[in-house]
Amino acid sequence: MGLRNTATNYGSLAKALHWLVAIALFALIYLGLEQAGMESGDERSRIRFIHASIATLTLILMTIRIVWRFMNDVPAHPDGMPGWQRVISSIVHWGLYFTVFAQLIAGAIMNGTAGRGIPVFGLFSIPIPVAENHDAHEWWEEVHEFAWQPIAVLIVIHVLGALYNHFIVKNEVVRRMTVGVK
């Protein structure tokens, strides 16, 4: 398996980025929901610190992923896939890219408008070049707290579509994004 995509398969870098981002998104959703119901304090601060650090890493991975997508072939939809499924597949993929970027950027701006940078695993903090503003912070916090929901819906549609293609239609959709799946 090569690094680059082909007309029929994703390359090793696209696969690695897909699965790393997927794991990160599940971790971010879990940590976000975990800390949402907690009282302010050390434990909540620790979870937010980890959440923000993973989000920064995810933003980097997503940026690499989208650049890599534009620099490579994208495997064609399987032969015989109905047009409506092709359209839904494209909408879900681009919807995920858009909503994930929106969520990550909203979280960064939320921190910036609160006068904080983004911590990166205790190594350093990335300053966010926006003015501290309580009203703006509240607005970006609302956006950030909402945006995980469309991401979750799109992930469910994406996974169900992949499972449908693998187990019902029995095409190569899942095989070309995994290693060793028969």
DSSP 11: -
- Confirm whether 129 is domain-assigned: yes
Structural contact between residues 125 and 118, judged by C-beta atoms closer than 8 angstroms: yes
Structural contact between residues 11 and 72, judged by C-beta atoms closer than 8 angstroms: yes
Residue type, 48: R
Q: Could you read off the pLDDT of 89-105 as tens digits, one per residue?
A: 999 999 999 999 999 99
What's the pLDDT score for residue 67?
97
Q: How confident is the model at residue 180 (pLDDT cuts 50, 70, 90)?
A: confident
What's the pLDDT score for residue 1?
73
| Overall average pLDDT of the 34-52 stretch | 94
Range of the domain at 73: 12-177
Q: Could you read off the pLDDT of 115-126 as tens digits, one per residue?
A: 999 999 999 999
What's the pLDDT score for residue 38?
92
The values of phi and psi at residue 61, to 5°, are -60, -40
- Confirm whether 182 is domain-assigned: no
The values of phi and psi at residue 7, to 5°, are -70, -20
Tell me how many domains the chain contains: 1
